[in-house]
Amino acid sequence: MAAPGDNALGEEMVSTKVLTVPNIISFARLCLVPVYFATLLSGCNIAATLIFAFAAATDFVDGQVARRTHSVSKLGKLLDPAVDTILMISGVVGAFLIGALPLWIMVLIFARELFLLIGGGILLTRFGVSVAVIYPGKFATTFLFFGIAGLLLGLPLVPGLGISDAPWLPGFGQAAASWGIWSVYIGLVLQIGVTVYYCIAAWHQLKAARRNAEGRA
C-alpha cells in the first residue's frame, strides 16, 4: 500500500546521508507548519494562506532536487511524504478551525491517511508487500492543497448549485461558497479512487506472495 501523501522519489541510489539539500528543504517546509498555525490563529488569514500556499507549492521541489542531484537518502524517502502528510493535515485542521471546512471532510482525510499508514506498515513488515504509488494520488494531493488554500483565503465566492441545503455540503446549496471547496471535492474523489486501487493492488500482490511462499515450501 502506498505511503502517506502519495509521494514517490522513484528508483535511485539511496544514501544514508542526513544533511542533504532535499532533506533541508523538507525540514524547512515542516518548520512552516507552526508558523502557519500561529498566523492563522492570530486572525491573519491572508498571511496564513500565503504561508500554506508556499509550503504546498514547494511540494515537488525536494523530490525533484533529490532526483536531479542524485541525492536520494533513506531519511528523505521518509521525510518527504511525512511532511506532505503533516502539511495536508495542518491545512485541513486550520480550515476546519476557521469554519471553512465541514467536519466530515476532515474526518475522512484523517481516516484515509491513517488507513494507508497502518495498512501499508502491516503489509510491508508482515508480508513484505509494497504497492507503488501512482500519479493520480499526487493529483489528488495537489487538488486538496489548492482547495485548502482557497478555503483559507475565502475568496472568490462562486454561486451554489441549489441542489441541497444541507449545511455539511457547502457549495451544493443556494448560498455562495469559496471556489476552494470544489477543488477539495475533486481531491477527495480522486483520493477515494486511488485508495480503492491501492487496496486491489495490495490484495493481488499479497496473493502472489502467498503463492510464491507455498511454491518454495
pLDDT in tens, 142-187: 999 999 999 999 989 999 999 998 999 999 999 999 999 999 999 9
- Tens-digit pLDDT profile for residues 41-67: 999 999 999 999 999 888 777 667 766
Q: Is a pLDDT exceeding 80 seen at residue 32? A: yes
Q: Is a pLDDT exceeding 60 seen at residue 70? A: yes
Predicted pLDDT at 24: 85
What distance in Å separates the CA atoms of residue 4 and residue 86, rounded to the nearest whole number? 10
Contact 125, 118 (CB under 8 A): no
Report, as an integer, the average pLDDT of 1-30.
66
Report, as an integer, the average pLDDT of 54-82.
74
What distance in Å separates the CA atoms of residue 139 and residue 6, rounded to the nearest whole number? 9
Least confident of 22-31, 66-75, 80-89: 66-75
What distance in Å separates the CA atoms of residue 31 and residue 183, rounded to the nearest whole number? 26
Predicted pLDDT at 44: 92
Predicted pLDDT at 23: 80
| Cα–Cα separations (whole angstroms), residue 125 to 30, 117, 142, 147, 212 | 27, 12, 29, 35, 17
For residue 197, give the C-alpha cell.
Answer: 486501487
Closest among 192, 91, 108, 84 to 150, alpha carbons compared? 91
- Torsion angle, CA of 119/125/127/133, rounded to 10 degrees? 50
Residue count of the chain:
217
Contact 148, 52 (CB under 8 A): yes
Predicted pLDDT at 41: 92
Going along 125-184, which residue ranges are E strands? 157-158, 177-178
> What's the mean per-residue pLDDT of the chain?
85
Report, as an integer, the average pLDDT of 6-25.
64
- pLDDT band of 9, cuts 50, 70, 90: very low
Predicted pLDDT at 3: 47
- Tens-digit pLDDT profile for residues 97-149: 999 999 999 999 999 999 998 998 888 888 888 888 788 888 999 999 999 99
